[in-house]
Structure 1
Amino acid sequence: MAEEAEKALAADGYLHNGKWNAAVGEAANRFAGQVDLASVVARSTGLEVEQPHNGVYTAYLEEGQFLDFHVDEFGFGEANLILYLKHERLAAARTVSCTVFIDADGYRECDLAPGDCVVFDGALTPHGRTPLGAGEHVILVSFGFRARDQAPRTVAHLPPVPL
């Protein structure tokens, strides 16, 4: 997938929201078909979801590039699974770029390596990325999942606001 992502980003990548994006291809779709990603999401969150209905390759390639805090459109899915494909950094780097979330306890930084993943609800959880350091490159794939039961996703059933 990392090789496919690099090719897709180089050929068809587009800047969106401060990061490079490209549609997933055969390798990502094959992976999603062979690995029961829905069960990974269910074990992590307790939310029963369908297999991913959408996915995108994302890259951060330039020093200082970051992703400001945001929430995703509900259409991307009730759960997101971000799988790191590549995270290159200089051994002597003073800082490392991380995926970061805002939750009831404050900020949570996730410094992930290739093969690591994180699962969250991108429509309800503000998330972003801290700035890349010199020589740092990050490539990941993000899959979106829909809940099997859509009823709890109405405004009347959203979780309480964190204090």
Structure 2
Amino acid sequence: MPTPDLYGLRERFEKDKILLCFNGPISRSLIEEIGNALKNYLQSEQLPPASAMDVFAAYIELTQNIRHYAIESQLAGADTATVIVSHSEGCYSVAAGNIVRINDGAALLKRIELFATMDKVELKAAYKTQLRQPRDPQATTGAGLGLIDMARKSTKPMEATLKPIDDETAYFSLSIQI
């Protein structure tokens, strides 16, 4: 096995202003540990508490969504997440991705694209509407409030991509700016 180019990786992290990067199987305890490290970093940077909480909340929402999808879908490789937190020009970016079924990813992409067309007032109304919807007790996923909330907190529209892997799966990634 060849030795990885750690210096090259470090240089890429410096160039892209990456503060945190994780790639591998995601578990509840790992989400918590990385979250604690992120929280400590944000506190050390003396970020206003509301901004730090928004960055932390986006990280938690993205990683928990990946974990829940992996458990629900039972799709091989869906539990392997890539998570990146970066900081550039006074803005934090939180991005995460994983393998999904093409149909699931396409439906999510469509929803995110719809949110991108909404202004803050429309997003707030969508959040309130979703909040009032009766919750299906058989549902294994959340009510979708987290996704709308991330769209509301993002300083620009969320960006999502879906890259096909084969006829049934694709790599879905989502990035938000705070």
TM over 0.5: no
Q: Select the structure with the greater relative contact order (CA < 8 A; seq sep ≥ 6).
A: 1
Query: Which has the larger strand fraction?
Result: 1
Greater gyration radius: 2
Query: Taking structure 1 as the reference length, what is the TM-score of the superposition?
Result: 0.31
Query: Taking structure 2 as the reference length, what is the TM-score of the superposition?
Result: 0.29
